[in-house]
Amino acid sequence: MQNDGMNGRDWAILLVLSVLWGGSFFFLAVALKELPPITIMLLRVALGAVPLVILGHLRREPLPTSARIWGMFMILGLLNNALPFVLYAFAQLRIASGLASILNATTPLWGVLVAHLFTRDERATPAKIAGVLLGFGGVAVMIGTGAHRGGEAIAILMCLAATLSYAFAAVYARRFRPLGIPPLTVATGQLIGASLLLLPFSLALERPWTIAPPSPVTWAAIAGFALICTSFAYWLYFRLLASAGATNALLVTFLIPVTAILLGALVLGEALEPRHYAGMTLIALGLAAIDGRPFRRLAPKPA
């Protein structure tokens, strides 16, 4: 399986990354039992930024001092962290972590549409459009009948809004490459920007100083959320981008729901309905159509 530009190390990083990001939905579900959503995400981005700042210092990649660059970091932090993270947190108050992870896989579907509209070099092909239609057909199946129970339909729409925000963030992040800003610096800057954006909302709306001290289990979930699923995962992701490219890194979206569903079922006792698995299948087929490689592998080879 070491073709399409990926070697054994790349596949290992891909699998580890899928486990880490799949685990983030589990850690969020645990933390939500004792802490409010915005405060959880503030802790995630603020604590997650610390190791990246240290790593950047060790690699002699200092943070910029330009007000314009920091304004860009704030916009990216809003689109890639603050807004989608909070939307997912509120959504998981209503739906299982496994279902949230399935909906997270719609990010490349939005990415096709956003890139087609706002870039010149990533135009949508008929195969990609077919993949988008398949994927959103899967979302429609999941909403289906019965999604109104417990506000599930609203939670699904929140997740879709979050993945749309991720797609806009991916396009906006292209602006940093011509400026010569290293990926690690961009990741660090966006987490700091997201922290500054979330702090006043946490203080004003959730008043975290009035909350009872969380249990050690919750603090462990926050630590795993921030340090493992954010700092370490970003570092791995940028290594994968550098060695295998963005198209190969997209494959992680196929694997994330596996970890999240297993953790949700085995540890949290969550159970998904048949329509959720049917929707996941359609989304996976849509992603396969966008990526193209699974179908190329199945096509008959010329003699």
* 186 belongs to a structural domain: yes
* 300 belongs to a structural domain: no
* 231 belongs to a structural domain: yes
* 131 belongs to a structural domain: yes
Within 10 angstroms of residue 118's Cβ, the number of other Cβ atoms is 13
* 96 belongs to a structural domain: yes
* 3 belongs to a structural domain: no
CB of 189 within 8 A of CB of 63?
Answer: yes
* 301 belongs to a structural domain: no
**Residue 169 structural domain:** 8-293
Q: Per-residue confidence of the chain (303 residues) as pLDDT tens digits?
A: 334 556 778 888 888 988 898 899 999 999 999 999 999 999 999 999 999 999 999 999 999 999 999 999 999 999 999 999 999 999 999 998 988 988 988 888 888 888 888 887 778 888 888 888 998 898 888 877 555 566 888 999 999 999 999 889 888 888 888 888 888 899 899 999 999 999 999 999 999 999 999 999 999 999 999 999 988 887 787 777 667 666 566 667 777 888 888 888 888 888 888 888 888 888 888 878 877 666 565 556 555
| pTM attached to this predicted model | 0.86
User: In angstroms, what CA-CA distances link 213 with 30, 199, 246, 282?
Assistant: 15, 19, 41, 43
Number of domains present in the structure of the chain: 1
